[in-house]
């Protein structure tokens, strides 16, 4: 179970909406990968299976290593003039790039 990461109602609603068009039993995966202009970037994808090291919250999967880097974060879904997107407020992040997609620790 993912206890130290908060999901807003907007994020949960959007994840459920996205999963409604996927095959039954699909998961929404959040991961942190190396890359981007600041060193790390958030990755959102769909998965049909759960791995042994995955933490689960309802229909959301986060691998253990990513969960450690997301500890204390809030996952939100926002609608802005530049587009709709998931936003993560990560207190462990030291800086982020101008587009908000990548960050450094």
Give the pTM.
0.84
Per the structure block, which two tokens stand in for 43? 């990755």
Q: What is the pLDDT of residue 83?
A: 84
Let me know if residue 71 belongs to a domain: yes
Q: What is the pLDDT of residue 99?
A: 57
Let me know if residue 103 belongs to a domain: no
Let me know if residue 101 belongs to a domain: no
CATH of the domain at 46: 2.60.300.12
Domains in the chain, number: 1
Q: What is the pLDDT of residue 102?
A: 59
The tens-digit pLDDT sequence of the chain (105 residues) is 577 999 999 999 999 999 999 999 999 999 998 876 667 888 999 999 999 999 998 899 999 999 999 999 999 999 988 788 898 988 887 656 555 565 666
Let me know if residue 42 belongs to a domain: yes
Let me know if residue 47 belongs to a domain: yes
Q: What is the pLDDT of residue 103?
A: 62
């Amino acid at each position: 179970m993912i206890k130290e990461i908060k999901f807003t109602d907007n994020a949960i609603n959007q994840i459920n909406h996205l999963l409604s068009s996927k095959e039954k039993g699909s998961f929404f995966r959040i991961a942190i990968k190396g890359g981007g202009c600041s060193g790390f970037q958030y990755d959102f994808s769909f998965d049909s299976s759960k791995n042994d090291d995955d933490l689960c919250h309802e229909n959301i999967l986060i691998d253990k290593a990513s969960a450690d880097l997301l500890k204390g974060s809030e996952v939100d879904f926002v609608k802005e003039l530049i587009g709709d997107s998931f936003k993560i407020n990560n207190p462990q992040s030291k800086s982020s790039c101008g587009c908000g997609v990548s960050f450094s620790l």
